[in-house]
Amino acid sequence: MRYGGAAIIGGRAVTVDQRYCREREGNILFRTLGDIGLLYHRPSGQTHIVISPVPEILEAMEDDSPVSVGDLLQRLSRRFDLGPQETALPKIAAHLADMAALGLIRAVA
Amino acid sequence: MKHRVTLRIGPATFRIGSAWSGPIGELRRLYADYPAPSDGSADFTVRLEPAGLLRRWLRPSIFITGDHGLADAAPMSLAHSLLAAEMGMNLQMALGWRRHLLLHASSVEKDGRVLLMSGESGSGKSTLAAQLGERGWRLMGDEFALIDLAAGAVLPFPRLVSLKNRAIDVIAADVPAARMGPLLEGTAKGDIRHMRPRADAVARMDEGAPPALLLFPRFGHASAIRPMGQGETFMRLTQASTNYVALGEAAFAALGRFVDEVPAMAMDFPSGDEAIAMVERLWEERA
């Protein structure tokens, strides 16, 4: 369900207008092992085991400039079939909010 | 402490003190062949103290203390003092060792390569390593495998092997009495008997080797082997390591490399003989 720039997913609101950028260069070490990705977050010392689409989202944010959920959807759609925009957009927004909560990306004003 | 002994096991040195002579005498006997520490310093201190003022004489109970301790550790009977000493040494390693990535796994070596076996208590990893150690493999450790953070080699930690319940008779049939400790009946883990590794395994306790195969054994099930994906292996090994978090980035790099280079399999087995045959087959296939 969507309300302007926000959507309700899994019982919580996610903002699709929010912009994000990657953590500072060198703050995260990435390693691929088979079909999973390992992220070591240097500031917290935590290891995150991630699966698709987290590595793909991080790769699409590689130029380090802040991107909105809409920008990201465009970039990812060039490589992947993400289905209708109205279902893909809130899903990507939810992923970004989770990644920001873990410290893997930063929300920017 | 009135009675003391200093022991070196692989790269770690322990100073063990006790209010009683019995446990120190038993440790001296069982660790008699181990190389002496190079100087007087020790990495860890373990103290076996009376649990209360009169407990040194009256129904004596031991309380384990040391550099690192557990607040809720229960006192143990003096009759189980050897187990208390071994548990104290394990505790210091698990909580305090920082020079290597420490995996809760047994390890044996053959042809210059190492087979590691990881699993919960009761999985059979310790008994299986002890059996292989009597059948042409070098026993490197039954409890902890130390992974070199830079080179990735496995280093031995050949402490006394702790045999539990049914495993005691199985191993005692293969091993001379001089290498066996006293039977400790009715401990919190059931009956326990310690075994000293073979002399060559002790003499080569500073000699590491690269890892070649990782197994997750499970005793008491029909024979089955399942290749394990790298993601599951990585997750299981972070849980099997006592110092992964403490070592930070160095552990991330070392464990990532280990999982990338070493094939891993889950191995269910119904008996020790079957497990030995399965391990030998897997080792030949790998070669």
CATH classification at residue A9: 3.90.930.40
Residue A38 and residue B248: Cβ atoms within 8 Å?
no
B76 plus B204 within the same structural domain: no
- Regarding beta strands B224-227 and B264-269, do their DSSP bridges make them parallel or antiparallel, or are they unpaired? antiparallel
Interchain pair A33, B231: CB under 8 A: yes
Please tell me the predicted confidence (pLDDT) of residue A1.
Answer: 44
- Chosen for mutation from A28, A29, A31, A35 (greatest number of chain B CBs closer than 10 Å) is A31
| Judgement on whether residues B124 and B206 belong to the same structural domain of the protein | yes
Task: State the CATH number of the domain containing residue B201.
Answer: 3.90.228.20
**Nearest Cβ partner for B234 among A29, A33, A42:** A33
Give the residue from B96, B117, B137 where a domain finishes.
B96
A34 and chain B: CB distance < 8 Å anywhere?
yes
Instruction: Answer yes or no: do B12 and B84 share one domain.
Output: yes
Q: pTM value?
A: 0.87
* Span A46-102, pLDDT tens digits: 999 999 899 999 999 987 789 999 999 999 999 999 989 889 998 999 999 999 998
Domain that holds residue B226: 100-158+197-286
How do residues A30-48 score in pLDDT, each as one tens digit?
A: 999 988 899 999 999 999 9
- ipTM for the complex shown: 0.76
Buried b / exposed e over B159-178, threshold 16 CB at 10 Å, is bbbbbbeebbeebbeebeee
B47 and B141 in one domain? no
Domain check: are B123 and B229 in the same one?
yes
Q: Do A33 and B252 touch (CB under 8 A)?
A: no
pLDDT at A11 over 80: no
Amino acid identity, position B60: P
Q: Are A45 and B256 an interchain contact pair (Cβ–Cβ within 8 Å)?
A: no
For residue B248, what is the nearest residue in chain A, using CA coordinates?
A45
pLDDT in tens, chain B (287 residues): 689 999 999 999 999 999 888 889 999 999 999 988 887 789 999 988 887 655 665 566 777 777 776 656 667 787 788 888 998 899 999 989 999 999 999 999 999 999 999 998 889 999 999 999 999 999 999 999 999 999 999 999 999 999 999 899 999 998 999 999 999 998 888 999 999 999 999 999 999 999 999 999 999 999 999 999 999 999 999 999 999 999 999 999 999 999 999 999 999 999 999 999 999 999 999 87
**Domain end marker among B96, B117, B136:** B96
The helix (H) or strand (E) run that includes residue B82 is: helix B81-96
Contacts of A102 (CB under 8 A, 6+ apart): A41, A46, A48
